[in-house]
Amino acid sequence: MPAYADLAVHFARAAALANSIGILQWDSDTMMPKGAAETRAESLALLRVLHHGMVCDPKVGDLIAGAEAESGLGDWERANIREIRRLWTVQTAVPADLVEASSRSVSRCEMAWRTARAEADFPALLPLLAEVLSLQRQIGAVKGEKLGLSPYDALLNDYEPGGRSARIDALFDDLAAFLPGFTNEVLEAQERRPAPLPLQGPFAVEAQRALGLEMMKVVGFDFARGRLDVSTHPFCGGADNDVRITTRYDEADFAKALMGVMHETGHALYEQGRPQAMVHQPVGQARSMSVHESQSLLMEMQACRSREFLAFAAPRMRAAFGGAGPAWEADNLYRLYTRVERGFIRVDADEVTYPAHVILRYRLEKALIGDQMPLAELPAAWNAGMRDLLGITPPDDRVGCLQDIHWPSGGWGYFPTYTLGAMTAAQLFDAARRAVPEIPAAIARGDFAPLLSWLRVNVHGQGSLLETDDLLTRATGRPLDASVFKAHLLRRYGSEAAAH
C-alpha cells in the first residue's frame, strides 16, 4: 500500500479511538453516577495511552517520509501530511506514562472540582490541582524542548498551533488599556437612560429547554448528528458526526441558558460542517481553538444578540414563557441582552467585560506554568486581578478561581483563545456581511442559511487545510486585527449607540 494511504488508514483508526474517548468524557460530565468515577478514570487513562501510542507509533515517521515523497497527491493530502507531522512531532515528545498519569490526575481533579466549586472550598481542591499543574508543567517542558518553545507556549500550541504568548501579550495589553475606560463610559451612558424592564420569572426548565431546541434548529443544528444535555459547565464535545452540547438552567434567568445554548451551537455548527471526506483525518479537524471560539462567539454575540435576531426571537420567547407587555418587546430585549455589567462569572459576562475575564486567566495560568507564583496564592491573585481589571472583588472562590473547569481538566493554555476568538468572530462576521449584504435581513426572518453557507465555505469546510492567519486572510482580506473588534464594540455599546 502506498505510504500516504497507509498513513491515512492509521490516523482514521486513531480518530475512532479519539471518538470513543470523547463520548466517555461527555458521559463523565453529564450522566455518569459519581460512584463510577474511579472506574471511568481508569478506562479513560488506558484509552488515552492507546491513542497516544497510535499517534507516536515509530512507523508513523517512516510513513510520513514516504508520503511526502509520493507524487500525485492533492492539496488536502499534502496538508494532511503536514498536520500529521505536526501532531507526531509534538506527541512523540511526551512519554506514555506521563499521558497516563495526567489522565488519571485530571479525572480525579474534575470530580473533586464539582464539590469544591459548590462549597467554595479551594483548599480541598488544592492538592489535586497541584498534581494536575505539576504534570502540565512536565508536559509543557518536554514539548517545549522538542519544539524550541517555553513550556507555556508549548501548551498553548496544542490549542492554537503557531500561537505565541509574545503576540498575545501585545494584543491583550492593548485591550487591557482600552477596556477599563471604555467600560466606564458605557456604564455611565447606561446610567443616563432608563434601565431595561426586567423579565419576571420563574422560567420553567422544560420551557427553557424547548426554546433552546427551537433556536438550535433555527440556526441550523443537525439533530440527526447531535444532542443537547445538562452539565455543571456548558461545553461542546462528543465525536465526529455525534456532537454533544450542554447548558445549565436558572429558573430566575432564561437568558443565561439560551445564550449558552447559542454559544455551544456555534461550536457544534463548526463540528458538523467540517469536510466529510477528511473528517477522520487531522486535516479535517478544526483549525484552532481561536477559530473554534470565533464560531461560538459569532453565533452568540455577533448574531444572536443583534437587533435583527431579537426581533425574530421576541414573539417566540413570549410564547415559550407566557410573557406579555413592554418588557417582552424586541427593543427591551435588545437592551437586556446588550446590557453591560461588572460581574464575577465569565460565562455570563457581556461582550465589553468578557475580555477582562480572559486576560486575568491568561496572565495567571502563564505565571503558574512558569512557576512564578505558588498555586496556594491563586485565590488572592485572582481577586486582586478582578479588582484591577473589573473593579470588583469576588465574595468567595465559587464565583472566583473555582468557577471554571479548564484547569482541573488539564486545559492549560486554552483561555486566551476565547478573546482571540472574539476578535476573530468580529472580523469574520464583518466580512460575511460585506460579502452577503442580505445576512442581517435574513437573520431578522429567522433565516440563518446565508450566514451558515458563507461560514461553511470560508471556515467550516476548510478544516485545517490552511494555517490560522492564512484562513482568516483568505476569508476577510487580512490577518487578525483587533481594530475590527474594537469598532464592533464602539458601534454596539459606544456613546452613539447609547442614544438609541
77, 83, 264, 365: the catalytic one is: 264
d(CA 487, CA 427): 10
Give catalytic status of residue 264 as yes or no. Answer: yes
Q: 441582552: which residue's cell?
A: 337
- 3-state SS track over 77-111: HHHHHHHHHHHHHHHCCCCHHHHHHHHHHHHHHHH
The C-alpha cell at 370 is 512558569
Q: Which residue has the cell 453565533?
A: 299
Cα 376 to Cα 123, 128, 141, 458: the distances in Å are 8, 12, 22, 45
∠ Cα 33 39 40 (to 5°) = 70
Buried b (16+ CB within 10 A) or exposed e, 355-366: bbbbbbbbbbbb
Q: Evaluate whether 488 touches 426 at the Cβ level (below 8 Å).
A: yes
Q: What is the DSSP letter of 446?
A: T
Helix (H) or strand (E) holding 244: strand 242-247
Q: What is the distance between the alpha carbons of residues 347 and 263, in angstroms, rounded to a whole number?
A: 10
> With DSSP H G I counted as helix, E B as strand and the rest as coil, what are the percentages for the chain, rounded to 5?
70, 5, 25
Sheet holding 242-247, edge to edge: 226-230, 242-247, 236-239
Cα R_g (the chain), whole angstroms: 22
CA 342 to CA 352: how far, in whole Å? 9
Rounded CA separation 213/387 (Å): 38
Active site residues: 264
